[in-house]
Structure 1
Amino acid sequence: MAKETTKNVSKDETKSVDKNDGKKPHVSDKTVSDETRAKKEKKSNLNVKLFNRWSSDIEVKDIGLKRYLNLDARIVPKSAGRYQKKKFHKSKMHIVERLALKLMVPGHSGKRHKISSGYNTPGFMKCLTIIEKAFEILENKTKKNPVEVFVRALENAAVREEVTSYQVGAIIARKAVITSPQRRIDKALRYFAQATYQKCHGKKTSAVQALADELLKAYNNSNESLAIREKERLEREAAGAR
């Protein structure tokens, strides 16, 4: 009898082992989030600074943008296209890297876009150099961490409402809609890039000074900023379309 019981136990054990072969153990979302949080804390404890100068440990006050505004500790924010194959994974990219990519292709803001719509700026590392020098100007003028100034400017310039068009019979109607968080960041970065391009292209103003001025005006929530003006214009249109 003892031999039979041992045989049965061994068979059950082998069956359970066979069932688990080739399958990953189930890990709950809570444990994954705890692990990622621990990794981020470990990286921040290493005192990794952006451009080896400024801390990226900034609190995002706008709750809607918090999930989509990546401020992980990086010395050089360059992901080399790691997130380009999956939709909406650009939010995992460092926000300074996203600004550099927008500066490379500012895009058109009117009917004439023969020059502005294509790749018309220097390489990625040159754009990072422009951002670094603009951050130096912001630091000298505000006496604050320029990464924080940039984040506050982004929060101020992020549009909340827009207008969309839809067809009702033979009529095109307009309706106010709430802008998604990722689109809010996209549009604010686009306006920063377009303002920089418009102020320095064919003019004596350098790209560094143009970017620093735009970010500083957006940080102060001034109407002299192109991003703030466009945000207010879109929100006025949305208010009139209700």
Structure 2
Amino acid sequence: MGPNPLLFGRYSFDVEVHDPSLRQVLCLKPVKLPHTFARHANKRFAKANVNVVERLANKLMRGGTGKKIGGKIIRTQGSLQGKKTKVVKILEKAFDEIHAKTRQNPVQLLVNALEYSAPNEDITRVRFGGVSYQQAVDIGTQRRLDLALRNLATAAIMSAFNNKMSLAGALAREIMLAAENNQDSYAVKRKNETERIARSAR
């Protein structure tokens, strides 16, 4: 057996995951190129076997935020939908920028960012006796990771929309902020807001 492949030929997947629940669902299988060509599509729970870097790429391939944020709906006019190779190149540029600025392994910073931006509580609507009210609930481990990935991708799309900053630069900035648990990070703010609303609904 030879050495494990490095992401983009440069970055190791030998990283630490401090959150014990996320450790169960974070797939860090060493790959050189995060692209499985939809091998896991339409299979139940198969996303747990997809490398987390590829899952972030998949989250970036969306038509926009899908809802109003900051008073406007952000759309990318399909510029990234289905363009996996283009998104993987954007990820590579973002990781190179992270490494150039921090001199740290960008895969480790991505894992740290996911740990700090994965909410633990959310709310659901409960109907009892004809009356609806909100109830705080714990979030499943897989959904915690899904929300963290989605918020990181949404933050990058929002920052790069109608802005001189490239999507790669916006993604690198968001990952670096979230990895430090910085409140300037959109993903961290969304996590704190979700948990605050859940606490009030206990």
The question of a shared fold, defined as TM-score above 0.5 by the shorter chain, is answered with yes
Match of 1:144 in 2: 104
Q: Identify, as 1 or 2, the structure richer in helix.
A: 1
Asked whether the 8 Å contact 1:109–1:194 carries over to 2, the reply is no
- Between the two proteins, the alignment pairs up a number of residues equal to 198
Which residue of the other structure, out of 153, 160, 178, is the alignment partner of 2:120? Answer: 160
The separation in 2 between residues aligned to 1:181 and 1:187, in whole angstroms, is: 10
Matched, 1:99 2:59: no
Higher relative contact order (CA 8 A, sep 6+): 2
Alpha-carbon distance, 1:170 to partner: 2.0
Which residue of the other structure, out of 149, 162, 171, is the alignment partner of 1:189? Answer: 149
Asked whether the 8 Å contact 2:74–2:158 carries over to 1, the reply is no
Q: Could you report, residue by residue, the CA deviation over 1:100-156 in whole angstroms, capped at 9, with x for unpaired residues? A: 11111153242754735x744261111111111111111122221110011001111
Alignment of 1:35-46 (within 5 A): 42=1, 45-46=2-3
Match of 1:7 in 2: none
Match of 1:221 in 2: 181
Matched, 1:177 2:134: no
The aligned amino acid for 1:66 is: R
Matched, 1:61 2:21: no
Q: Which stretches of structure 1, 4 residues or more, deviate above 6 A after TM superposition?
A: none
The aligned amino acid for 1:80 is: F
Please list every run of 5 or more consecutive structure 2 residues that lacks an aligned counterpart in the other structure: none
Alpha-carbon distance, 1:65 to partner: 0.7
Quote the RMSD (CA, aligned, Å): 1.7
The separation in 1 between residues aligned to 2:142 and 2:53, in whole angstroms, is: 15
Matched, 1:121 2:80: yes
The separation in 2 between residues aligned to 1:134 and 1:113, in whole angstroms, is: 25
| TM-score normalised to structure 1 length | 0.77
Match of 1:32 in 2: none
Q: Among the aligned pairs, what percent are the same residue?
A: 36
The separation in 1 between residues aligned to 2:15 and 2:67, in whole angstroms, is: 31
The separation in 2 between residues aligned to 1:185 and 1:198, in whole angstroms, is: 20
Q: Identify, as 1 or 2, the structure richer in strand.
A: 2
The separation in 2 between residues aligned to 1:60 and 1:125, in whole angstroms, is: 28
The aligned amino acid for 1:91 is: A
The separation in 2 between residues aligned to 1:81 and 1:214, in whole angstroms, is: 27
Alignment of 1:1-40 (within 5 A): none
The aligned amino acid for 1:212 is: A
